[in-house]
Amino acid sequence: MRLTHLSSIVLLSIVLIGCVLNTRRDPATITFNEAVELLRQAEDYAQSGDISSLCNMSDAVQACLEEFSRLEGKAAIPSDSPTIVKTYVLPDVLLDNGNTLLGGRVLVIQGVDGRGHSYRTEWLVFDRGNNKLTPRTPIYWSRISIVTPQNAADPFK
């Protein structure tokens, strides 16, 4: 009986995950303008010093706060808007283990942070579901690069 109950929970979880994934937009439908609008919102929060709102743009609030501290806090916030040098669509990648690496619209941006250090960041905007666009990290001066697995079956090879 216990195994049947566990099997039911697993099956229900799979169905719910499938429903959530089906409500996500295809990464190719996220427009350049939508990504730029989200970037401008992140800039406004950062430059006004509203780090709580900045990090709440993301689903990973604690990770954002830690990244903000690692990057030397408010002193590193850029005073000027970044330059967008490129954009591209990063497609979802279905792994052999059934997991999906979520894709989206990437803005390649560069500028100078508040400490005078140059940055170049690949800023990913994706749809978590229900047409809610979210930056992978709202900290646009983070110098994060998108790394895609050479082997989608095992991205850690």
Model confidence over 63-116: pLDDT tens digits? Answer: 999 999 999 999 999 999 999 999 999 999 888 888 888 899 999 999 999 999
49 membership: H or E segment, kind and range: none
CA dihedral 22, 23, 29, 35 (to 10 degrees): -130
The percent of the chain in helix, strand and coil, each rounded to the nearest 5, is 40, 20, 40
Rounded distance between C-alpha atoms, residue 35 and residue 31, angstroms: 6
Q: Give me the domain span that covers residue 87.
A: 25-135
In a domain, 151, yes or no: no
pTM recorded for the entire structure: 0.78
In a domain, 98, yes or no: yes
Q: What angle do CA 144, 57, 74 make, to 5 degrees?
A: 65
Domain count, the chain: 1
Q: Residue 48, Cβ neighbours under 10 Å: how many?
A: 11
Which positions ≥6 away from 91 have C-beta within 8 Å?
Answer: 27, 28, 103
Model confidence over 35-49: pLDDT tens digits? Answer: 999 999 999 999 999
